[in-house]
């Protein structure tokens, strides 16, 4: 990805089995994890809306354009993010190029320039665009394709006072059709200068610690949302649900069905 983007390196663990929310709550109360100090979590309310062009060329290349609205203790923050295709690694982590900035004409111009290098042309930057983010994206021919809400608790993991990773405990609500589907997962994201090895080590220790409650998960939230929409449209989603949550068997089926997903090795205790 061109420009001054970053490389996002993260591992995801999906919460399965009974007591899913209780597990997230217990992790949020801890002060140490995988041999690292865990800071007090910050609570965030997040609304994500994803956009694509006609024909869904971003989805076809496993890329994503996101408009994120974040509510914490202060004013709402609006972020524009462009994520490139995910690249699997040797461990539990996944890497992908990412451009992310607070919403502004300059941030939109960087996205437009990057999309142009992918052969996806948007109108030139001198087009008179509305100031509101969603309206500006619509004026460029980008349409919303997915909306979801998340309750996130985010905390840094520190070694000797230096942050090496960020832990996010997410309760995500999708709305395929007219039903709500709740998905809970952990994200462990590397913070510079740490890298993939640290992320994989933390994820592996959590899998060993919670062998029946956590599973390695390489499906992005966006890909999961698309799959839920498609299953609901075909009348197949209800069979994979346990109340408003995906059953453990439902996660297994989705993991094996989605083309971008590969089953991951589990910990020895499993």
Beta bridge pairs of residue 77: 70
Q: For 157-191, how does the pLDDT look when each residue is reduced to its tens digit (9 = 90+)?
A: 999 999 999 999 999 999 999 999 999 999 999 99
| Whole-number Å distance between alpha carbons of 270 and 256 | 19
Beta bridge pairs of residue 5: none
Residue 239: CB atoms within 10 Å: 11
Return the closest-CA partner of residue 151 out of 40, 34, 43, 48: 43
Max Cα-Cα span within the chain: 59
| Whole-number Å distance between alpha carbons of 219 and 242 | 20
**pLDDT given for residue 270 in this prediction:** 35
Choose between 220 and 268: higher pLDDT: 220
Full set of structural domains in the chain with CATH: 6-257 (2.40.320.10)
Percent of the chain with pLDDT over 70: 92
pLDDT beyond 90 at 122:
no
Residue 168 and residue 152 in contact, taking contact as beta carbons nearer than 8 Å: yes
**pLDDT given for residue 266 in this prediction:** 37
Q: For 130-153, how does the pLDDT look when each residue is reduced to its tens digit (9 = 90+)?
A: 889 999 999 999 999 999 999 999
Q: For 11-40, how does the pLDDT look when each residue is reduced to its tens digit (9 = 90+)?
A: 999 999 899 999 999 999 999 999 999 999
Structure tokens at 146: 């997915």
pTM of the model: 0.89
The whole-chain average pLDDT of the chain stands at 90
**pLDDT given for residue 3 in this prediction:** 45
Report, as an integer, the average pLDDT of 215-235: 94
Choose between 235 and 73: higher pLDDT: 235
Q: Is 59 exposed, middle or buried (0-12, 13-18, 19+ CB in 10 A)?
A: middle
pLDDT beyond 70 at 1:
no
**pLDDT given for residue 92 in this prediction:** 81
**pLDDT given for residue 269 in this prediction:** 37
Choose between 191 and 74: higher pLDDT: 191
Residues 6 or more apart whose CB falls under 8 angstroms from that of 189 comprise 8, 9, 10, 165, 166, 168, 199
Report, as an integer, the average pLDDT of 211-231: 94
Residue 28: CB atoms within 10 Å: 16
pLDDT beyond 90 at 258:
no
Residues 6 or more apart whose CB falls under 8 angstroms from that of 25 comprise none
């Amino acid at each position: 990805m061109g420009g001054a983007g970053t490389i996002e390196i993260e591992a995801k663990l999906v919460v399965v089995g009974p007591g899913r929310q209780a597990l997230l709550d217990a992790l949020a109360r801890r002060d140490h994890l995988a041999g690292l100090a865990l800071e007090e979590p910050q609570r965030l309310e997040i609304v994500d809306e994803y956009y694509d062009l006609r024909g869904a060329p971003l989805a076809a290349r496993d890329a994503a354009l996101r408009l994120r609205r974040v509510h914490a203790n202060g004013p709402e923050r609006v972020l524009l993010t462009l994520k490139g295709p995910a690249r699997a690694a040797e461990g539990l982590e996944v890497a992908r190029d990412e451009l992310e900035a607070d919403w502004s004409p300059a941030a939109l111009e960087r996205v437009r320039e990057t999309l142009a290098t992918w052969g996806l042309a948007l109108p030139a930057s001198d087009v008179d665009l509305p100031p509101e983010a969603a309206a500006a994206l619509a004026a460029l021919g980008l349409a919303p394709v997915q909306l979801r809400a998340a309750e996130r608790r985010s905390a840094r993991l520190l070694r000797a006072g230096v942050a090496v990773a960020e832990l996010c405990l997410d309760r995500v609500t999708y709305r395929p059709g007219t039903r709500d589907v709740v998905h809970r997962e952990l994200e462990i994201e590397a913070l510079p200068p740490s890298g993939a090895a640290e992320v994989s080590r933390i994820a592996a220790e959590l899998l060993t610690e919670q062998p029946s409650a956590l599973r390695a998960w390489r499906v992005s939230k966006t890909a999961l949302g698309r799959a839920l929409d498609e299953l609901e449209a075909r009348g197949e989603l209800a069979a994979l649900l346990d109340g408003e949550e995906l059953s453990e068997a439902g996660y297994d089926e989705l993991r094996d069905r989605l083309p971008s997903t590969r089953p991951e090795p589990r910990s020895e205790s499993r």
